[in-house]
């Protein structure tokens, strides 16, 4: 069972005007494999991407981007990042849950992602949330590190529940 997100965290759909916050989180979170600001801007505006912002007390604490290819039953968690100052507070869990719900609400039955084989904290999060390994991509990253491809089967939500999207 995934951990319960912190009740002080809210998750909403990102807007193009959130580019400064998303770019800041990206810069603070990654030294390698970082998205350039123009790429983030395109993703926030893309109709085939569902971008989410997590906030604590009204301040951006993390973001996630889910890609939703037309005609596919598979969604891809393309990026998820939490500001280092907000780590350990349940932000990643809240974003992951919202990403799953957004994908499921759009008829997707699987959520897939790639993660660095050395990223133990992310792997722990994904395993707790029910993701399983389905492939190892050798030398996937520019520095030669392997990627682990994980997936989770999404269950349609029963009516009457609250949604995070």
- The active-site residue out of 114, 140, 141, 145 is 114
| CA–CA gap between residue 92 and residue 79 (Å, rounded) | 11
User: 90: left (phi > 0), else alpha (psi -120 to 50), else beta?
Assistant: left
H or E segment at 44?
A: helix 37-45
**Helix %, strand %, coil % of the chain (to 5):** 30, 30, 40
63 is known as an active-site residue: no
- The active-site residue out of 26, 55, 100, 126 is 126
26 is known as an active-site residue: no
Catalytic positions, please?
A: 114, 126
């Amino acid at each position: 069972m995934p951990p319960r997100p912190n009740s002080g965290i809210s998750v909403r759909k990102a807007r193009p005007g959130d580019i400064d916050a998303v770019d800041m989180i990206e810069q603070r979170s990654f030294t390698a494999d970082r998205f350039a600001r123009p790429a983030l801007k395109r993703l926030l505006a893309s109709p085939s991407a569902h971008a989410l912002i997590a906030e604590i007390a009204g301040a951006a604490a993390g973001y996630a981007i889910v890609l939703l290819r037309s005609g596919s039953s598979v969604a891809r968690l393309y990026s998820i990042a939490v500001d280092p100052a907000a780590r350990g507070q349940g932000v990643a869990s809240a974003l992951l849950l919202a990403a799953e719900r957004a994908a499921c609400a759009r008829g997707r039955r699987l959520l897939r992602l790639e993660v660095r084989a050395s990223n133990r904290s992310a792997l722990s999060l994904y395993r707790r949330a029910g993701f399983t390994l389905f492939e190892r991509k050798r030398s996937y990253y520019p520095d030669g590190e392997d990627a682990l491809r994980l997936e989770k089967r999404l269950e349609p939500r029963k009516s009457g529940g609250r949604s995070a999207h």
